[in-house]
Structure 1
């Protein structure tokens, strides 16, 4: 239930490093000289709580992000403390990089509006301080560039990772093409050969009437063996034509991109080596689960983790959406996914956690080895 968006969340933990600079902002109100200083010290504590909530409780960001931004803007406007607003400039810009661009436009517009109001306020209230305001590396440079640099850095990381994932899927498709060629060769050569053996064996069985006690049994064995081998070839060919996890994700990543949902994966390369039947089974359920994310979750990001133990294969699908109902009238999606896994004695579990909806799929190895 506490599972997170993997590597991206680990990078968000780096935002806590910036809190090392918070004491320098707090020192501006120390030693306490007035009730106003006490108020701003209390608001520093409120800011710290909001900062942690923004990082740790994604479902509350609609409230905590605006509050954090407005609070730090108040520090800049009323106490001319331009250092506090740097914190949301880095933290929130990094988080919003995985959301549609309109959210960043809203944030950065509000951010620079607050900075501009603070500068105008400084010019009117304390023109002498404005004249000596440190427009340097710390005075104004960092407040102005922080949101842009943070957003660009986060977007470049996400895009690079998505490109790497797409390249791995294309590599899997290249290997898949070779398997398709093998399938055609099997069908064109061994398939026809076994068909001819079957026909000849059946014909010989009809023609050889002189010693049926010696020949008939052998010919029947040949015919039966030929039929079994032909069926085996067909089974192999059908297996090679099954859709791999890489193929499913290549298609679904495009669908998610059109819906403006970022797809991240972990363990995908290892999963591409799972048995074809297992990949095909997971692929069908993944397609349905991702379709649900696009249609109902209102998510901005989805993470799919592939793993295995000594006893089973596992796939976890986590989105940051706001879906509240697992089962909708007239919908058979959940039941269909459960049925697909039940056919191979697998398990399907769906639940909410503080980030969104978590779907867990498992297939035992002993049944599908």
Structure 2
């Protein structure tokens, strides 16, 4: 039995891949513990995983709307706080394998300094993290604290990129053998069978961004009085009580997306990797409205456009522009392009690939 400790950060779409991989490792009979923020406890414990909270007394709520400055300052604190590394080391044993969200540079550094076999988990395109993220404010702050991301990733025993290598702009480059594109960590899914009238799922980020409330209302206004039914999931970041909801729309705080997508004809999303991959796995075309220019959402939107599986529009798009975009993906060749991606992914399981690689790093017993 291998002892595996996972360290995460509450940042939305980065969580499901780590949770699913941890569940797979535990299913094989290994000891799994998860270190994260207290508000993540329920999600991991419902999955049957042992959970431990950071000792950090500073609250962190990504669903609370913040100014750009305050949001950056808070996120830098979460990713570079060395006390989180201390929490990890207090939880590990000498034989632990450590799996860390690639953004948690302080925790990665602590695991490596302690000599643990260390895995960095990249939940989206590595091109984003090794590009705009590393060169932007978060990466610069990390380097100023002696926690250069590229150096830490290079020193890991494995870097698991949980996405499709052909979609990731970094996938065409040569990488050390420690870098592995696992494929999406997404259960094998059948193609959607659209219901009548055609259904569109609209789901923007669970993280609060400026202008998100207005974007959601524009989606509802743009699709009002059309021949499609709209299912909108708001998450905690949008105040559903303040929305004007047309007769052809229903609003939910949360719904299992796999269940809803099974009968959809298209998805409107924010370019979050998790939602985008889930839609493509169902063979569904997308309209992508990136909520923040500094995150990976614009890059994901461009990748979806490049394969012909959707269109990307501005967060500030008018209701008329949103309606036109939906009509384009519903009536154009985008469904066929999304179906081709879904077919290529069938039979592959990024969760299994990731778990195999993690468990291959189990410390070898010392010979007597």
Bigger share in helix? 1
Q: Is TM-score (shorter-chain normalized) higher than 0.5?
A: no
Interval of TM-score (by shorter of Structure 1 and Structure 2): under 0.3
Q: TM-score, normalised by structure 1?
A: 0.27
Bigger share in strand? 2
Query: Relative contact order, CA 8 A, sep 6+: which one is greater?
Result: 2
Q: Larger Rg: 1 or 2?
A: 1
